[in-house]
Structure 1
Amino acid sequence: MSQTDDPSAGRGDGDEGDGDTGETVVGGSVTPEGGPATDREPFTFEDVTVVMGTYNEEAAIGTVLADIERVTDGQAAVVCVDGSTDRTAEIARERGAQVIEQEPQGYGVAVRAALLAADRPVVVTTDCDDTYPMEQLPVFLEQINRGYDVVSGDRLYHGADAMPVLNRLGNHLFAAAASVLMGRRVHDTTTGMRAYRRAVIEAIEWTENTGLSAELLVRPAMRGYDVREQPIAYHERAGETKLDPLRGGAAIAASIVTVTLEERLRNL
């Protein structure tokens, strides 16, 4: 099996790599063995909280939570910040998730609240629309155990054919713009599936707008944390999207510009 066929292999066309593993390291540095040095006991799924913002996803939330339970053998905790008017919260509770209900205030508010509610040392973000492969959770945890601070799913590596064409084009443009502004190559700035050491989440002041998805990659990378982009599959979503592509795209573009400038000024 080649590295491009292997779902556990990382990006191979970044500015910084780690030997022959073919992965992209966006920030920080790596050891010759393929990851930042670490001498602590490895994390297990008992150390993981999976978090998500949910809004009217009753068609998909049960499947997503069942997949998390199956893949982690029921060991990972799940936190949903929910503003739904349908049965999403009810289904999530039935599946054992902690549900924090709030008035609908948008993606950024919900995801930020979910991130800050996590109380285990590893925090995984995902969306609740069944587009992300929960089967990759062991791979993400493995990379955290190798010493990475952030593992960011790269949907575009395999083409993301299930993604609407306009969204796919926009995501390539976001990545190109972020790469120029950051001064280092990134491939997917708006993915919803990432893993973090909780210390990273706690060390950074996050905003609450739609552009949070890009900020969650840009700020750690520009602050020197060890960030790895991990190729993942991307599936057709269940149910209808809640995000207006033009309005959401404008918010993400503005966030990329604002956040990169803030981080550059911070480093002066």
Structure 2
Amino acid sequence: MSRALDRERGGDYTFDDVSVVMGTYNEEAAIGTVLDDVARVTDGRAEVVCVDGSSDGTPEIARERGARVVQQRPRGYGVAVAAALASATRPVVVTTDCDDTYPMERLPDFLDAINDGYDVVSGDRLYHGARAMPPVNRLGNRAFALLASVLAGRRLHDVTTGMRAYRRAVVDGIEWTENTGLSAELLIRPVARGYAVREIPIEYAERAGETKLDPLSGGAAIAKSIVTVGVEERARRRTR
């Protein structure tokens, strides 16, 4: 039976139906490990797309491991991830970061939750304490979650996580507008629009390589994005 016919009869998605996408920027210290983990966990069946603006060996390492590399000049986190989402070709899209902080061994759990009927499955790094995260980042992420919860009208636990799974209809059905704050937007808008969203606890590891985000200016940009998206979605609900 073909996968398309199996889907029409209510069959589950498999890793043949999954695209794993990420924005990459000078991540040669970690990208090989991340892509090896994806290949190991999915038995090499998932499509992998990297949107890359690196000046180091990141794109060459990614290509060597079978990833499709889409190169663009560096324009920020959100621009890269939005391009990666748009470049995916399969019906389930998983986002992750390329710094080896996220547990690729949990990919089967994310896919199981999509098969259970959820539209978005979001990895909650803070549930287990996120001890590998710098304290100021941990505090900031809890504050972001509280702010987003107030605006979205639902308790959210980690709105800036980089590891999520989406049904293709969610990715294609919403216009994404944020850059530094795209990670929060990618959760807040689906919640506000009534998609079935589940947060699941994940472990979070110490990153390999140097962070590219300044905690103060980056944190301010994320907070501004959360407010902007939250206010827009509230106004959208009022006008419907």
Structure 2 counterpart of 1:215? 185
CA distance in 1, matches of 2:145, 2:33: 30
Three-state SS of the structure 2 residue aligned to 1:267 is helix
Structure 1 counterpart of 2:31? 61
Structure 1 counterpart of 2:126? 156
| Percentage of pairs with the same residue | 75
Question: How much has 1:39 moved relative to structure 2?
Answer: 6.8
Gaps of 5+ in 1: 1-37
CA distance in 2, matches of 1:264, 1:39: 37
TM-score by length of 1: 0.85
CA distance in 2, matches of 1:181, 1:122: 28
Question: How much has 1:182 moved relative to structure 2?
Answer: 1.3
1:109-124 equivalences under 5 Å are 109-124=79-94
1:267 is the counterpart of 2:234: no
Structure 2 counterpart of 1:187? 157
Please tell me whether the aligned partners of residues 182 and 260 of structure 1 are also in contact (alpha carbons under 8 angstroms).
Answer: yes
1:134-153 equivalences under 5 Å are 134-153=104-123
Higher helix share: 2
TM-score by length of 2: 0.95
Partner amino acid, structure 2, of 1:97: A
Aligned residues: 231
1:199 is the counterpart of 2:165: no
Structure 1 counterpart of 2:12? 42
Question: How much has 1:40 moved relative to structure 2?
Answer: 1.6
Gaps of 5+ in 2: 1-7
Structure 2 counterpart of 1:101? 71
| Alignment deviations for residues 15-46 of structure 1 (CA, whole Å, 9 cap, x no partner) | xxxxxxxxxxxxxxxxxxxxxxx972100000
| Alignment deviations for residues 208-232 of structure 1 (CA, whole Å, 9 cap, x no partner) | 4100010000000000000000100
CA distance in 2, matches of 1:200, 1:73: 26
CA distance in 2, matches of 1:160, 1:43: 30
Structure 1 counterpart of 2:214? 244
| Alignment deviations for residues 171-217 of structure 1 (CA, whole Å, 9 cap, x no partner) | 00000111111111000000000000011000000014100010000
Structure 2 counterpart of 1:165? 135
Structure 2 counterpart of 1:71? 41
